[in-house]
């Protein structure tokens, strides 16, 4: 299993009260990072996650906010900076999912999916960058979705696919815009993970992606020796080929 030393690093994982974000936060705490567990409404779960992270790294906190609201994003970062210090490692994990036909989605849901996945990634990255640039070091990892780099589209869950395509484009743009700053920006794109809400009939390689599979890629991106790897998108999909469907 790939490991990395994140001691003396401050990490913020958006949407880390539970699910994949929780596993990311706990993995980073196990590697020594001080972790900010972010949540929007899941306060109880966030506190439980932070307690486990604190036992691993000795330093963790919870922060609340809506990542689609610029003022709340500022407040989230202000709270992290007050409790732990400036953010060195940012994982943009928040992203609503609406697996229904596009005509069945109300406008509020349509917007929420686009805003949480794409606008949230933009706002949090923008807020993190000044301190990272000043420090001459930073790691931003965005969570995408396998297949969207190939312009994968279906009538079902369409705004999610559009937003994740935008996340990949934003990742590449930001990597280009930070080439002289000691910052890397990369994208981690799973297909179906072991805790997903829905499962297709067949799993690539006979199983769904585990949290350990995602952690392998995350730790590679976060490692201090991965400073020349930026603007990349790694799909954790077991060899799934969407165009074969």
In order of 47, 59, 86, 166, the CA distances from 36 in angstroms are 11, 9, 11, 26
pLDDT value, residue 105: 94
> Percentage of residues in the chain with pLDDT exceeding 90?
80
Assess whether 145 carries a catalytic annotation: no
pLDDT value, residue 244: 55
Examine the pLDDT at 205 and tell me if it is beyond 90. no
pLDDT value, residue 243: 65
Q: Which residue has the tokens 């972010």?
A: 38
Examine the pLDDT at 144 and tell me if it is beyond 90. yes
pLDDT value, residue 37: 98
Bridge pairing between strands 183-190 and 138-143: parallel
Count helices and strands in the chain by DSSP H and E runs? 7, 7
Asked if 36 contacts 80 with a C-beta cutoff of 8 angstroms, the reply is: yes
Examine the pLDDT at 78 and tell me if it is beyond 60. yes
Domains in the chain: ranges and CATH:
10-244 (3.40.50.720)
pLDDT value, residue 103: 93
**39, 122, 145, 160: which one is catalytic?**
160
Asked if 88 contacts 111 with a C-beta cutoff of 8 angstroms, the reply is: no
> Percentage of residues in the chain with pLDDT exceeding 70?
98
Query: How much is the average pLDDT of 113-122?
Result: 98
pLDDT value, residue 68: 97
């Amino acid at each position: 299993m790939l490991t990395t030393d994140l001691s003396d690093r401050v990490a913020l994982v958006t949407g880390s009260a539970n699910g994949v974000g929780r596993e990311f936060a706990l993995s980073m705490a196990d590697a020594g990072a001080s972790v900010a567990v972010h949540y929007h409404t899941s306060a109880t779960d966030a506190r439980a996650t932070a307690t486990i992270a604190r036992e691993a790294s000795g330093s963790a906190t919870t922060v609340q906010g809506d990542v689609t609201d610029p003022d709340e994003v500022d407040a989230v970062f202000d709270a992290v900076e007050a409790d732990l210090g400036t953010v060195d490692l940012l994982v943009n994990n928040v992203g609503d999912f609406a697996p229904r036909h596009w005509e069945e989605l109300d406008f509020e849901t349509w917007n929420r999916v686009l805003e949480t996945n794409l606008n949230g990634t933009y706002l949090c990255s923008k807020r993190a960058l000044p301190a990272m640039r000043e420090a001459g070091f930073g790691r931003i990892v965005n969570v995408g979705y396998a297949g969207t780099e190939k312009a994968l589209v279906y009538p079902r869950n369409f705004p999610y696919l559009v937003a994740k395509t935008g996340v990949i484009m934003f990742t590449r743009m930001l990597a280009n815009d930070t080439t002289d700053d000691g910052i890397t920006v990369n994208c981690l794109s799973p297909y179906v993970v072991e805790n997903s809400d829905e499962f297709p009939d067949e799993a690539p390689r006979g199983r769904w992606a585990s949290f350990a599979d995602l952690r392998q890629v995350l730790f590679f991106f976060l490692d201090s020796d991965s400073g020349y790897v930026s603007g990349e998108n790694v799909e954790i999909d077991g060899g799934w080929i969407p165009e074969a469907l």
